Structure 1
Amino acid sequence: MLAIQRESRSVEDLPYELVERKGVGHPDTMCDAIAERVSRYYSQHCLREFGGVAHHWFDKVTLYGGGADIDYGRGELTSPYRVKVFGKAAFRVGDVEIPVREIMFRAAADVLEQVTTGFQADRHLVVELGVVDHQGSGRGVSRYQPASARDLVPLRCEGLVSNDTNLLHGYAPLSRLEGVVQGLENLVNGSDFKQRHQDTGWDVKVFGSRRDDTFSLIVNMPFLAAHIGSMDEYWARKRTIQTELEEFVDARGIGRFSMLMNATDRNGRPYLTALGSVADTGDVGVVGRGNRVNGLITPMRPMSIEAPAGKNPLDHTGKIYNVMAMRLARQVHEKFGGPAQVHVFTSKEAPLERPDEVVVTTAHGTESEVGALVEAAVASTDDLTVELIEKGITLW
């Protein structure tokens, strides 16, 4: 199961590096968050009512943006966001209904209220149901049409197997560029920043490149139209924000850098939105098109294309092992130093505690030392399931 590759090179050794992060108000990130919130709420409902979790996946969420009336000093949504959830799930356990549509609406409303300003679910949200309970090949009727609570899976159930064939990756530590790109978005969409700058929007996108030790950063961040009275006011507010962002980058020890903010306004038009996202004016979001599990888009790194958000937290290894690989890489790095990578491959029906292959790349640590970390990680998948359902793990 375990293979170790010896490697001491780091992404920092590359002459060129590229990184991107889509912020929490980007339509794609919204969809990831909604999909995962639906899975959590659905799982929590099943545990509360039946003592186990019905099989499900809600990882095909799309968001069709609304319409807005936007001008200086005015920003109002005129057409609602439309969220459609595709997937499979049980609609009832025996004769007891699971309120799937209500769960979806509450999940979408909770997410969108957190990553926009002024969102009112009763006025601004329509949720469409694209979920079925059809049975797949080789599956018993109880998979999506459970006859009783006995057909559901309790937490920490023994003998679970992988629901899919998956290939996952994780690495540590973040590079300087990765850290500053993620840090900028976290700063701008953090509660302290939003309290100090209440005219800033949430659809923040940060790009970064590094050529040797010279960094180039692009930050796109909308302002709320209702708070901006003129183009001159827009330029002034943009200068204030950019100065703060540049001070943040400088404080992280990034010596040589340039920053371009709101590249779109080079056409002479301000970047304004009604609620803080381009979803206000019809842009579309889809699960899995944005950040990977570590919160970044990293084309210079090993990167799985799995879309974990919304997948079943009990046995879908595309979700469970995705988090495990990332955390295991951090453990290897913290214990032995140097860059670390973890690659996990598993086939369908393989026991959760025995993935087919785990490859760890590290310059240090004996096989027994690394093996002990791997064994502990794969033996604790039930802990990850509990955390995903009870606390939530950010997957974007």
Structure 2
Amino acid sequence: MGRPMHGRPHPPTVVIEPSRCKPVGRRRVELVERKGIGHPDTICDAVQEAISVALCRAYQEEFGRILHHNIDKSLLVAGSSTPRPGGGRVTAPMRMVIGDRATTVCGNRRIDVDAVVRATVGEWFRKHLRFVDPTVHLVLQNELKPGSAQLGDIFDREVMGANDTSAAVGYAPLSETEALVLAAERFLNSADFKKRYPETGEDVKVMACRRDRHLTLTVATAFVDRFIPDNRTYFSRKAEIKSVLEAHLAERLKTIDTVTVDLNCLDDPARGDAGMYLTVLGTSAEGADGGQVGRGNKVNGLIPLNRPVGTEAAAGKNPTSHVGKIYTLFTHRLAGEIHARVPGVEEVYVWLCSQIGRPIDQPLIASVALSLAAGTTVKAVSTDIEALVRQELDDIHAFTQALAEGAFPVC
């Protein structure tokens, strides 16, 4: 593939058209998933992103600019544990393998990438998983290597170009189902809820199935065994948590009539200890499930099965040139701005496609698909939307700097 010249700007082509799909909230069936902060896949995404943010800070402090890195390959290998009522034990630690590329030398100066990685990983686990001691329960295997000269050269150019030819899509607004899925997981993992129900671990998974105006949430919540002395306590607390969550969500219903929560569906009181979802540390990664970057939530925190989504794993990728990351987050920002600022837009999807080497503020194409309120036409809103898209693209470098500082979550 040839490299484009940067002697003149390439204004993006902006295409605006009506959406061919009914807005998600008005379809009969909708499926949405979210993996909470203690889920193995979310752990991988969040840790890799934290490392990238920490490296961006270290590079800027040491060299005055962000250097080439991509911390987007990670595998969390499950450990072994023997949970039991009253408190079990971890018999083998989890192992986190961190890989891909990071610059270690610039000019005649070196940066200790391994030290940044280890400090960041330890801090993340201590902050987000109450019962995980990273010095005891985790083995860290850092496999980051120096980047390629060709990709590293992108960072030495006066005008930084996209590191890849890539496409991304974002949308707005969240549907009612999507908002309720986020509300459910965030409620279960909130500080206030943990104070009230310390036996609930951070490994929470929510799957929503809306059929017409009824919503069913299938929720998996790891219980921490030290707080559960017996079978009776487990099922009593489980019933209370189910009721509290249903009441919390009922207060937030708009067009949906009813919500049902099914909690820890594999439980069986007749099976004794094996019939309860117990963990020692509050995450299934201690002894059951592994995790991997890119298998969890999309950048808006959801896995929306009724929406078009890209294939990029945003977590850990370089926030200044990796368009797979930048455009994945930026399309959601663009869609949100269009929905908020242009009257008559009921639902909007935005696609951006980059071309390798071409400046990131000059995508090959920007495509906008609209579902509009009655009485609104594409022609009536096109001028405002195109101006908004171009304005946001002009400011994209401020967006990438905020992204480098960790201003936008990616999972």
Residues 56 and 405, structure 2, Cα contact 8 Å, conserved in 1? no
Inter-partner Cα distance in structure 1 for 2:235 and 2:356:
55
Return the offset for 1:354: 0.7
Return the offset for 1:196: 1.8
Give the letter aligned to residue 325 of structure 2.
Answer: K
Give the letter aligned to residue 259 of structure 1.
Answer: V
Query: RMSD over aligned Cα, in angstroms?
Result: 1.8
Q: Counterparts in 2 of 1:1-396, with a 5 A limit?
A: 1-7=13-19, 9-135=22-148, 139=150, 143=153, 159-253=159-253, 254-266=256-268, 268=271, 269-335=275-341, 336=343, 337-362=345-370, 363=372, 364=376, 365-396=380-411
Inter-partner Cα distance in structure 2 for 1:73 and 1:226:
4
Q: Runs (4+) of structure 1 moved beyond 6 Å?
A: none
C-alpha deviations, 1:259-291, integer Å up to 9, x for none?
Answer: 210012147411111111000114211000011
Residues 131 and 282, structure 2, Cα contact 8 Å, conserved in 1? no
Return the offset for 1:392: 3.3
Give the letter aligned to residue 221 of structure 1.
Answer: T
Comparing 110-119 and 200-209, the one that deviates more:
110-119
Give the TM-score of the pair, scaled to structure 1: 0.92
Comparing 385-394 and 219-228, the one that deviates more:
385-394
Q: Which runs of 5+ in 2 are unaligned?
A: 1-12
Comparing 62-71 and 323-332, the one that deviates more:
62-71
Residues 203 and 278, structure 1, Cα contact 8 Å, conserved in 2? yes
Give the TM-score of the pair, scaled to structure 2: 0.89
Residues 30 and 111, structure 1, Cα contact 8 Å, conserved in 2? no
C-alpha deviations, 1:366-392, integer Å up to 9, x for none?
Answer: 222001110122112211221122243
Inter-partner Cα distance in structure 2 for 1:95 and 1:126:
32
* Count of residues paired in the alignment: 383
Comparing 348-357 and 225-234, the one that deviates more:
348-357
SS for the counterpart of 1:242 is helix
Return the offset for 1:299: 1.4
Q: Which runs of 5+ in 1 are unaligned?
A: 144-150
Comparing 302-311 and 385-394, the one that deviates more:
385-394
Inter-partner Cα distance in structure 2 for 1:51 and 1:281:
43
Inter-partner Cα distance in structure 1 for 2:17 and 2:120:
42
Inter-partner Cα distance in structure 2 for 1:223 and 1:361:
43
Give the letter aligned to residue 19 of structure 1.
Answer: V
Inter-partner Cα distance in structure 2 for 1:71 and 1:231:
10
Comparing 99-108 and 296-305, the one that deviates more:
99-108
Inter-partner Cα distance in structure 2 for 1:35 and 1:129:
11
Return the offset for 1:171: 0.8
Inter-partner Cα distance in structure 2 for 1:192 and 1:31:
25
Inter-partner Cα distance in structure 1 for 2:409 and 2:123:
15
Give the letter aligned to residue 209 of structure 2.
Answer: S
Residues 32 and 305, structure 2, Cα contact 8 Å, conserved in 1? yes
Give the letter aligned to residue 290 of structure 2.
Answer: V
Residues 75 and 224, structure 1, Cα contact 8 Å, conserved in 2? no
Counterpart residue number, 1:147: none
Inter-partner Cα distance in structure 1 for 2:88 and 2:338:
49
Give the letter aligned to residue 134 of structure 2.
Answer: A
Residues 354 and 365, structure 2, Cα contact 8 Å, conserved in 1? yes
Give the letter aligned to residue 237 of structure 1.
Answer: R
Give the letter aligned to residue 47 of structure 1.
Answer: Q
Give the letter aligned to residue 293 of structure 1.
Answer: V
Inter-partner Cα distance in structure 1 for 2:258 and 2:328:
34
Give the letter aligned to residue 272 of structure 1.
Answer: L
Inter-partner Cα distance in structure 2 for 1:256 and 1:172:
24
Give the letter aligned to residue 198 of structure 1.
Answer: P
SS for the counterpart of 2:88 is strand
Comparing 296-305 and 378-387, the one that deviates more:
378-387
Inter-partner Cα distance in structure 2 for 1:75 and 1:99:
38
Give the letter aligned to residue 363 of structure 2.
Answer: P
Inter-partner Cα distance in structure 2 for 1:34 and 1:322:
19
Inter-partner Cα distance in structure 2 for 1:201 and 1:134:
38
Return the offset for 1:118: 2.1
Inter-partner Cα distance in structure 1 for 2:276 and 2:398:
47
Inter-partner Cα distance in structure 1 for 2:225 and 2:37:
19
SS for the counterpart of 1:46 is helix
Residues 9 and 339, structure 1, Cα contact 8 Å, conserved in 2? no
